[in-house]
Structure 1
């Protein structure tokens, strides 16, 4: 499973790289200012890894919330704070929905995209403001 996830993540990154590089060649010097795909790659890897492997590690698994995990503690706190039930649409319910419904590959893709957007919005915007 691990090899399949890594292979699909790398394939996604390579395909995404082809599209972004084609666009950046048209816009003269995007890769010169530190805002290209290769500069965003560490953010994409961390984002993909956190979503793909972070949720199951916290206890939000495909078969439910794991016993004696951080997720079960969060679920208990949420139930106590809300009078005995976990509210639909709350943070615990949302994380469990992501952990149960989305596959590892889908979560890795979403995390990689989120990492890319964070890089573009935080790092590149700061560089543009400084210029």
Structure 2
């Protein structure tokens, strides 16, 4: 449990360092900053970190490889057919297999944290900016 929490904390630090921007102009509303997005970052990151490995495993991407007769096997078959018999590096199948093999908690946590930040920024702050611009 400690390794997972520590990995999430490190992932949060790495992801949050990418959010550094210049100071907002004085006429901008400051209700959409990082501190307001922090609950969404933590919830989405934690959900991805602890809910992601079971989902990836259920798709058939396990630590021992892709399980036979699974969704992962079908995805691999279709990808190989479309790419001349091989699965290219960087494809969705290879990324999911990498996550399944390593049970990439920090990676899933950082993806979830970024998703939480984007959810807050585009859906919650986007609505407040649109409603304030109509006034």
TM-score normalised by the chain length of structure 2: 0.59
Root mean square deviation of aligned Cα = 3.7
Distance 1:63 1:52 in 2: 14
Structure with the bigger RCO (C-alpha within 8 Å, sep 6+) is 2
The Cα of 1:49 is off from its aligned counterpart by 4.3
Alignment of 1:1-131 (within 5 A): 12=9, 30=31, 35-38=36-39, 41-100=42-101, 102-122=102-122, 123-131=124-132
TM-score normalised by the chain length of structure 1: 0.61
Structure with the bigger percentage of helix? 1
Distance 1:48 1:6, change over 3 A: same
Gaps of 5+ in 2: 17-29
Check whether the contact 1:65–1:71 (CA below 8 A) recurs between aligned residues: yes
How many residue pairs end up in the alignment?
Answer: 118
